[in-house]
Amino acid sequence: MVARRVLIVFVLPVIFSIIVGSAVLSDVLQQPGRELNMWPMSYSEGGSHSSIEIIGLSKQYAATEPVEIQVKISDSSFSCGDLYITIYSSGKSDVITQGGFFDQCLESGSNIAPVGDIFSKIIDTPGSYEVVVEMVSKQLQNISARGTFTIK
């Protein structure tokens, strides 16, 4: 008696919602111009013709020296938005540290972010690391760049 109620109250609604959700998602994805993009990210290497560039990143740091960087943004459509800086263990997807700077509105005449601040983290484990910077505009467009460094 109790097992039947558990089946009716808990299990059948889960099965029903999976079936209905799959049917709705399948129908939406059949429409022209629709695609499933679970992690919308695009990376571009920081350079002179990139719209975002990492400033102050050295190739090598001591274990007691902080990694301090700023970001130069040359695309005027990214004058306001959120800046995310993440450091990964190189070659792996392990996040070592990250920082978020929200509502970054670039001051006129300056295209350096974070505004009035510097990303500064100490990594004390020797190895190779990758830093990824991403700026997400108020219109939810994003630009990003990456760089690598080592800790000795």
pLDDT digits (tens, 9 = 90+) for 11-20: 888 899 999 9
**Within this chain, do residues 32 and 56 fall inside the same structural domain, yes or no?**
no
**Has residue 47 got a pLDDT over 70?**
no
High-pLDDT (> 90) share of the chain, %: 29
Rounded distance between C-alpha atoms, residue 99 and residue 101, angstroms? 7
Q: Please write the tens of the pLDDT for every residue from 95-113.
A: 899 899 988 888 777 788 8
115 in a domain, yes or no? Answer: yes
**Within this chain, do residues 61 and 9 fall inside the same structural domain, yes or no?**
no
Residue 98 burial class via C-beta count within 10 angstroms: exposed 0-12, middle 13-18, buried 19 and up:
middle
**Residue 147, domain CATH:** 2.60.40.2550
Q: Domain range holding 140?
A: 52-151
Rounded distance between C-alpha atoms, residue 84 and residue 54, angstroms? 12
**Within this chain, do residues 31 and 66 fall inside the same structural domain, yes or no?**
no
Contact 150, 127 (CB under 8 A): yes
Domain count, the chain: 2
- Span 5-28, average pLDDT: 87
Question: Poorest-confidence range of 19-28, 41-50, 96-105?
Answer: 41-50
**Within this chain, do residues 21 and 79 fall inside the same structural domain, yes or no?**
no
